[in-house]
Amino acid sequence: MDNSCSLRKLRGCSFIFLSALVVVLFPGVVVGGGNFNNDVEITWGDGRAKVAESGDQLTLSLDQGSGSGFQSKETYMFGKIAMQMKLVPGNSAGTATTFYLQSEGPEWDEIDFEFLGNVTGQPYLVHTNVYTQGQGSREQQFRLWFDPTADFHNYSVLWNPHTIIFYVENTPIREFPNLEARGVQFPKDKPMRVHSTIFNADDWATRGGLVKTDWSQAPFVASYRNFEANACVWSGGTSTSTPCGSDSEGWFTARMEPEGLQKMGEFQRQFMTYNYCNDHNRFAGGFPPECSVQ
């Protein structure tokens, strides 16, 4: 599933090529206190994305005419990014709801949550991926141990120079460590915005595209609250020698501890439904080098 320039994620796809990246990283800034009026901007959807007057909740909707999306006003260079989401209830087959970080440019980096809808009563699939220099193909998919449509649940990403960790309700479900020493590219040079979209993906999302979107169920609505980015905020300027300054909460230097690895392993054994590192047909010539440690 490639990240082509389409309504799948970013409308318009007006990329800026960052040929000479020079950054200022402001230390330990917590961005986002749950007020979407201050923290995000609607990027597309012709009114289908709505922020509550109080700013404490946001909804994205999809109908046969269009989906919708938003992005963070700030751009980040490393951070712990979290969002509470309540996914589309009922028959959501064919829909995809995303929450991801992405840089700009033709060779973008990306850290990707996608939630793939299903027919009523069937579990959502949580699809994750990591792109570097515009190259992905690192998909892992999971089921969840709860109904993500019944209430809000917390989804977060830790991204620092050492590792990327995906969390669901503070449970680590996937790690993509920095293995540049083994020749594996790692996203650490391009600042990213937070994005979220809902769109029609019935050509691939549900059972590989076999189940199509039932438009009689539209509009399909996903809800958001409590966006928080404990992150290095990026802006043009001169670089700092110590990104983020003091690391009072420890996320900038965090690595997966043995307890976290055990918890992640238990989750994956029970809930993983696809791992590119086990797909012998796809990688008949040999698995990517990171698979030897994942």
Active site residues: 110, 114
What pairing do the DSSP bridges indicate for beta strands 95-102 and 50-51?
unpaired
> Which residue, among 110, 138, 134, has the nearest Cα to 197 in the 3D structure?
110
Report the relative pairing of strands 153-159 and 163-168 from DSSP bridges: antiparallel
Residue position matching structure tokens 């047909």: 281
What residues contact 232, with CB distance under 8 A and at least 6 apart? Answer: 25, 26, 27, 29, 76, 77, 78, 79, 243, 244, 252
